[in-house]
Amino acid sequence: MEHISDADFLDIINIVKLQYGYDFTGYVQASLKRRVLRFMGRTNILTLFDLKHQLVNNSDLFTQLVQYITVNVTEMFRDPPFYRTLREDVLPKLAAYPNIKIWHAGCATGEEVYSMAILLQETGLLNRTKLYASDLNPMNLERAAAGILPLDNMKDYTYNYIQSGGLADFSNYYTARYDNVIIKKELRTQINFFQHNLVTDTVFNEFQLICCRNVFIYFNRDLQSHVLNLFYDSLSPRGYLALGIKESMRIADVHGKFETVNGPHKIYRRKV
């Protein structure tokens, strides 16, 4: 099968929403259709009728579908200049707060929030910071909370860390075990991993920094605007928001309530 009609796509989206409470109506349709088709090929589901039938009657298949279609591409210190900017320009401002709260929305398997924990450790802020890391996908969160990463990735992550201005030996932050590494406990204990749906869930705390990087590119304009308003309401006055390099808040009605801190690295600050 090479095509999903709009009517069939709407049927699938409605089944997922009504049966399981996951709302994908605001996602970019073309991208989501491609991922559903790839999932069908991977699971040997030959027709859309069969896919709909199984989604209604097989919750395990739904879990597999969510795992497959929610984007999980991430790495530690991804875009090193962004982390250098956080280290040099943003975290020194946050140091003025007696207690700091940071939210990583759409944290996937946790590499970026662990990168943040390392930055906070090196700037002396970790002990008075609470990190919140959320994702739609419960399997992502389970992996993230375990803090176990493939050993093969450490060479690239070490390079990223050095390019971001790292101050220590990167291997100090993990312990190697066979083909994996585990992030050190003192970093993991500062992070609260939990399920949160940016489409349907509401404000749950006030933050000095929110990072939601490389998530918006999968949302349509209306959903982007909705989520940016959620972030605005979740930030303290003068709080920071970081988006992905290919993302922008210009399309949202809320963009006038933010000032640009660093345009190339998409770091913004809520106005008072």
Per-residue pLDDT, averaged over 31-59, amounts to: 92
Q: Which of 97-101, 107-111, 218-222, 252-256 has the lowest mean pLDDT?
A: 252-256
Closest-CA residue to 106 (of 192, 27, 215): 215
Q: Which of 84-93, 133-142, 166-175, 250-259 has the lowest mean pLDDT?
A: 250-259
Give the predicted TM-score (pTM) of the model. 0.91
* 8 Å CB contact between 245 and 82: yes
Per-residue pLDDT, averaged over 137-146, amounts to: 92
Alpha carbons 170 and 161: distance in angstroms, whole number? 7
Q: Is the CATH code 3.30.470.10 the one for domain 80-270?
A: no
- Written as six digits, the tokens of 22 are 């996951």
The mean pLDDT value of the chain amounts to 93
Q: Which of 98-107, 217-226, 261-270 has the lowest mean pLDDT?
A: 217-226
Q: Tell me the three state secondary structure of residue 69.
A: helix
What's residue 253's pLDDT?
80
Q: 154 to each of 163, 179, 205, 250, how far by Cα in Å? A: 14, 11, 33, 36
For residue 98, report the phi and psi dihedrals to the nearest 5 degrees.
-65, -35
What's residue 1's pLDDT?
58
Segments making up each domain of the chain, as ranges: 6-69, 80-270
The 10s digit of each residue's pLDDT in 144-165 is 999 999 999 999 999 999 999 9
DSSP letter, residue 27: B
Q: Where do the H-state alpha helices sit in the chain?
A: 6-20, 29-42, 48-57, 59-69, 80-85, 91-94, 111-122, 138-146, 154-163, 185-188, 221-234
What's residue 3's pLDDT?
83
217-226 burial by CB neighbour count: b if 16+ within 10 A, else e? ebbeeebbbb
